[in-house]
Amino acid sequence: MKRDVLERILWSLSVDRFSKEKYREDPQKFLGRFPLDEEGARMILEFDVKAMQEEGVNPMLTLGYWIEMSPDRRVSSYNRKLGSDSAHSASIKG
Amino acid sequence: MKRDVLERILWSLSVDRFSKEKYREDPQKFLGRFPLDEEGARMILEFDVKAMQEEGVNPMLTLGYWIEMSPDRRVSSYNRKLGSDSAHSASIKG
Amino acid sequence: MAEITGGFLVPHDPVMFVAPDAPEADKAKKVWDAYETCAQRLADSAASSVIIIGNDHYMLFGTTCLPKYCIATGHVEGPLDQLPGLKKEQVSNHEALAQHIAQQGSDSGFDWAVARSFTTDHAFSIPYKLIVRRAEEISGRSITAIPVYLASAVDPFITKARARQLGEQIRAAVESFDSDEQLFVIGSGGISHWVGVKETGKVNEAFDHQVIDLCCNADIDGLAAYTDEQVLENGGNGAMEIRNFICAMAAANASRGELIEYQPVPEWVTGLGFIELKKG
Amino acid sequence: MAEITGGFLVPHDPVMFVAPDAPEADKAKKVWDAYETCAQRLADSAASSVIIIGNDHYMLFGTTCLPKYCIATGHVEGPLDQLPGLKKEQVSNHEALAQHIAQQGSDSGFDWAVARSFTTDHAFSIPYKLIVRRAEEISGRSITAIPVYLASAVDPFITKARARQLGEQIRAAVESFDSDEQLFVIGSGGISHWVGVKETGKVNEAFDHQVIDLCCNADIDGLAAYTDEQVLENGGNGAMEIRNFICAMAAANASRGELIEYQPVPEWVTGLGFIELKKG
Ligand SMILES: [Fe+3]
Ligand SMILES: [Fe+3]
């Protein structure tokens, strides 16, 4: 269930422009409309893509979310956040 | 094909808030991104729900579009536009 | 094994919520009371979960992907189309069973589209609120609910024959689920109503009684024998929802139905029929 | 009857467009040239339409409805995820045939989700641009393209066995289509790549060669024999796209495949394989 809700939020924030706007205006308020516990909200707010993947979230979504919404947006940073030592990085979903 | 595109536009304008905003800002520009002929665009712009239904568009969409986007929004007016003499009217999709 | 021990066929008419006072009071009361009767019978049963078989109204699924049938296997909330007295709420789904139905379907040729996080429309939420939630109140026990959506209002429609097979698959999946739970199934929709078309407000009592008789005789063949043209002509585009009845009847494997109430209500643009599905 | 007379298995690697100069020039050229070879062979054929079998990347379909397989039967545009050199354009679909495939599926137990108006992603649009559109340029004739999307990257996945059956159904539908058209089919995806996970950039040449050998031997059984765990372990989450290969191979009913090119390109995070499906 946690995974499902995380995926819904990431998917909305990857593809739905209205959701993106609302999230940027007030992330806490946006997340408040989903049944998400504190730890889940933290994962989203802190772009903790590693923790989300450990929760079972599809990597296509964590990557898409990072590229769309994170302050940094670089895939090299995404890979570091995941603990990857990859020199190469898909800059978008393969 | 015309029906398909009309349905996509009506569906977007019924449920997608970003599309609604964009349409309200500039209907012509919004419609311009779809492969729609002049007559199709006229149907949308003039809320010609009767013509759209004759084109095969699902009545749930013409009704939803009317209620969401038309200046009037009343189902009684929708029925008149359809040529209905019904005294009764589903105020939303049944 | 789990088991479907009963069920209902009921309408999901949003106009009841929007214009509760439009029909004469006595008629309206009979309809609301019929939901209450269903709730009471569900409360009196041992069912701990309900599968509600409804259909989208071209709101939940769009032109970029129209599924023939979809099941919510995870988080559920709704309805998207909120009404006075029917506000959006979180729904307690039976996730394990829903996932089992999808998986067992996949293993046996039923390629369920799956909603991992779903927002319902009124087709689920009206019977959910008036029957399932109310039965929880009456009985004091928790009852989960699984949303199933068929392509009954948006073409390409699921065929009536396939709706029946799908109901049989749901039953087989329930019976292969490792638990001793009892379930109810609700077919949500109908009977005659014309939606968004110029005939709106028409109710065809003769057609409604035909459908009711077929349901009460558990005559799925009879229901499936209607061509879509016949249904559209006699019951309106809203009556295409008899697919939901067929699926629910096949899932319940009922031997008969008992008419709880029928009211033709032009003010609510629908012939409203309530049937309990009885086993044995 | 219409007929599928040939086809290709090719990758759909967006990084080629984003970072064309990342690999050494010779390697990169071999990959772009492989697409050109496919385009030339399509141009040289008599095919007037191509079915492209790809998969969503959790972008087109969301958590509220994840179809096992979906076909675009009407208006098509794309890609949604535009890239440098891959801008959104209108696609000329073969609507009549696409609708026939969906209908024939419905009649034979394949419940296609249908996209009446569809936006593709790069899984369709890369082979569409580099092969179909290019073959139109070379040959001067029009070639339509039908998007088919399988659940190969988002779970619940279509099983490999079902992907094969679906390919067989596509073939049967094409052969029951009343026209003398020739078609090609393209399986779009693979081979080894790790997407969005910490192994990104890894390429497993040994696995890629195994897959290539199976494809060249038209050994669908061999491909279907991989467990998902084996694919994930050896080919990464991107290699789950071998489902698209299986479906295309079953649709083409090829007796063998001919390797056009293989390049392991860590800079493009993928082992890129190009195979022509040959009949007879
Ligand atoms: Fe891919
Ligand atoms: Fe309905």
Contact C63 D113 (CB under 8 A): no
What does the pLDDT read at residue C279?
Answer: 86
D145 Cα to chain B: minimum distance (Å): 15
Ligand 2 center to residue C80 CA distance, Å?
14
Ligand 1 center to residue C212 CA distance, Å?
50
Please list every residue in chain C whose beta carbon sits closer than 8 Å to the beta carbon of residue D106.
68, 156, 159, 162
Best residue in C93, C116, C119 for a mutation probing chain A (most A CBs within 10 Å): C116
| A33 in C contact zone (CB under 8 Å) | no
Q: For residue A74, which of A44, A47, A41 has the smallest C-alpha distance?
A: A47
Pairwise CA distance, residues A19 & A21, whole Å: 5
Pairwise CA distance, residues C127 & C148, whole Å: 13
Map out the domains of chain D as residue ranges. Answer: 3-278
Tell me the ligand closest to C126's alpha carbon. 2
Mean pLDDT over residues C246-263, rounded? 97
Mean pLDDT over residues D104-127, rounded? 98
pLDDT higher than threshold 90 for residue B6:
yes
Q: Is residue A39 very low, low, confident or very high in pLDDT (cuts 50, 70, 90)?
A: very high
pLDDT higher than threshold 90 for residue C215:
yes
pLDDT higher than threshold 80 for residue D257:
yes
Pairwise CA distance, residues C247 & C236, whole Å: 19
Residue in chain C closest to B62 (alpha carbons) equals C196
Q: Of the ranges A68-72, C2-6, C115-119, D194-198, which one carries the lowest mean pLDDT score?
A: A68-72
Ligand 2 center to residue B86 CA distance, Å?
19
Using DSSP's 3-state secondary structure scheme, residue C263 falls into strand
Contact D117 B7 (CB under 8 A): yes
Task: Tell me how crowded residue A41 is: count the other CB atoms within 10 A of its CB.
Answer: 17
DSSP string, A20-61: HHHHHH-HHHHHHTS---HHHHHHHHTT-HHHHHHTT--HHH
pLDDT 10s digits, C124-141: 999 999 999 999 999 999
Pairwise CA distance, residues C178 & C97, whole Å: 9
Tokens, residue C145:
């609910």
Please list every residue in chain A whose beta carbon sits closer than 8 Å to the beta carbon of residue C92.
none
pLDDT higher than threshold 90 for residue D22:
yes
pLDDT higher than threshold 80 for residue A92:
no
pLDDT higher than threshold 80 for residue C210:
yes
CB A20 within 8 A of CB A13: yes
| Peptide bond between residue B67 and the one before it cis (omega within 30 degrees of 0) | no
Q: Is residue B91 very low, low, confident or very high in pLDDT (cuts 50, 70, 90)?
A: low
Q: What angle do CA C14, C20, C23 make, to 5 degrees?
A: 110
- pLDDT averaged over chain C? 97
Residues of C with CB under 8 A from a CB of A: 74-75, 77, 90, 95, 116-117
pLDDT higher than threshold 90 for residue D81:
yes
Ligand 1 center to residue D194 CA distance, Å?
10
pLDDT higher than threshold 90 for residue D280:
no
Q: Is residue D279 very low, low, confident or very high in pLDDT (cuts 50, 70, 90)?
A: confident
Contacts of C199 (CB under 8 A, 6+ apart): B84, B86, C236
Phi–psi pair at C51, nearest 5 degrees: -95, 120
Best residue in D56, D60, D61, D64 for a mutation probing chain C (most C CBs within 10 Å): D64
* Structure letter (DSSP) for residue C159: P
Using DSSP's 3-state secondary structure scheme, residue C198 falls into coil
Pairwise CA distance, residues C35 & C128, whole Å: 10
What does the pLDDT read at residue A94?
Answer: 61
Half-sphere exposure of C166 (CA within 13 A, CB side): 32
* Structure letter (DSSP) for residue C158: P
B30 Cα to chain D: minimum distance (Å): 16
Contact A60 D57 (CB under 8 A): yes
Nearest to D201 among A53, A59, A88 (CB): A88
What does the pLDDT read at residue D37?
Answer: 98
Contact C90 A35 (CB under 8 A): yes
Q: Of the ranges B75-84, C22-31, C68-77, C125-134, which one carries the lowest mean pLDDT score?
A: B75-84
Half-sphere exposure of D250 (CA within 13 A, CB side): 25
Please list every residue in chain C whose beta carbon sits closer than 8 Å to the beta carbon of residue B86.
198-202
Q: For residue B70, which of B55, B53, B48, B54 has the smallest C-alpha distance?
A: B48
Q: Is residue B93 very low, low, confident or very high in pLDDT (cuts 50, 70, 90)?
A: low
pLDDT 10s digits, B20-34: 999 999 999 999 999
For chain D, the three-class secondary structure string (H helix, E strand, C coil) is CCEEEEEEEECCCCHHHHCCCCCCHHHHHHHHHHHHHHHHHHHHCCCCEEEEEEECCCCCCCCCCECCEEEEEEEEEECCCCECCECCEEECCCHHHHHHHHHHHHHCCCCCEEEEEEECCHHHHHHHHHHHHHHHHHHCCCCEEEEEEECCCCCCCCCHHHHHHHHHHHHHHHHCCCCCCEEEEEEECCCCCCCCCCCCCCCCHHHHHHHHHHHHCCCHHHHHHCCHHHHHHHHCHHHHHHHHHHHHHHHHCCCEEEEEEEEEEHHHCEEEEEEEEECC
Cα pseudo-dihedral D21, D27, D30, D35, rounded to 10 = -50
CB D94 within 8 A of CB D145: yes
Pairwise CA distance, residues D134 & D250, whole Å: 25
Mean pLDDT over residues D214-228, rounded? 98
Q: For residue C97, which of C181, C186, C193 has the smallest C-alpha distance?
A: C181
| A79 in D contact zone (CB under 8 Å) | yes
CATH of D3-278, one of 3.40.640.10, 3.30.1490.20, 3.40.830.10, 1.20.1730.10: 3.40.830.10
| D100 in C contact zone (CB under 8 Å) | no
* Structure letter (DSSP) for residue C133: I
Contact B1 D90 (CB under 8 A): no
Contact D116 B8 (CB under 8 A): yes
| C184 in D contact zone (CB under 8 Å) | no
Best residue in D73, D75, D118 for a mutation probing chain B (most B CBs within 10 Å): D75
Residue in chain A closest to B20 (alpha carbons) equals A18
Ligand 2 center to residue C55 CA distance, Å?
7
Residue in chain B closest to D72 (alpha carbons) equals B4
| D44 in C contact zone (CB under 8 Å) | no
CB D254 within 8 A of CB D218: yes
What does the pLDDT read at residue C265?
Answer: 97
pLDDT 10s digits, B24-74: 999 999 999 999 999 999 999 999 999 999 999 999 999 999 999 999 888
Question: Regarding beta strands D256-265 and D3-10, do their DSSP bridges make them parallel or antiparallel, or are they unpaired?
Answer: unpaired
Pairwise CA distance, residues D40 & D134, whole Å: 8
Ligand 1 center to residue D153 CA distance, Å?
7
Mean pLDDT over residues C222-245, rounded? 98
Phi–psi pair at A65, nearest 5 degrees: -65, -45
Neighbour-count burial of C149, counting CB atoms closer than 10 A to its CB (0-12 exposed, 13-18 middle, 19+ buried): buried
**Residue D147 vs residues B5, C157, D57, D117: alpha-carbon distances, Å:** 17, 21, 14, 11
Mean pLDDT over residues D195-209, rounded? 96
Q: Which chains touch D (3 or more CB pairs under 8 A)?
A: A, B, C
Please list every residue in chain B whose beta carbon sits closer than 8 Å to the beta carbon of residue D90.
35
pLDDT higher than threshold 60 for residue D196:
yes
Ligand 1 center to residue D14 CA distance, Å?
9
Residue in chain B closest to A21 (alpha carbons) equals B18
CB D155 within 8 A of CB D165: no
The H-or-E segment that residue C10 falls in is strand C3-10
Residues of A with CB under 8 A from a CB of B: 16-18, 21
Residue in chain A closest to B12 (alpha carbons) equals A16
Neighbour-count burial of A17, counting CB atoms closer than 10 A to its CB (0-12 exposed, 13-18 middle, 19+ buried): middle
Phi–psi pair at D148, nearest 5 degrees: -120, 130
What does the pLDDT read at residue A73?
Answer: 87
Q: Is residue B90 very low, low, confident or very high in pLDDT (cuts 50, 70, 90)?
A: low
Q: For residue B88, which of A33, C198, C100 has the smallest C-alpha distance?
A: C198
Contact A4 C116 (CB under 8 A): yes
Q: Which residue has the higher pLDDT, C172 or B91?
A: C172
| A7 in C contact zone (CB under 8 Å) | yes
| B13 in C contact zone (CB under 8 Å) | no
| B82 in C contact zone (CB under 8 Å) | yes
Contact C117 A35 (CB under 8 A): no
Would you give the end-to-end CA distance of chain B in angstroms?
Answer: 26
Contact C62 B8 (CB under 8 A): yes
Pairwise CA distance, residues B82 & B76, whole Å: 10
pLDDT 10s digits, C169-199: 999 999 999 999 999 999 999 999 999 999 9
DSSP string, C204-257: -HHHHHHHHHHHHTT-HHHHHHS-HHHHHHHH-GGGGGHHHHHHHHHHHT-SEE
Please list every residue in chain B whose beta carbon sits closer than 8 Å to the beta carbon of residue D72.
none
Map out the domains of chain A as residue ranges. Answer: 2-81
What does the pLDDT read at residue B94?
Answer: 61
Mean pLDDT over residues A31-51, rounded? 96
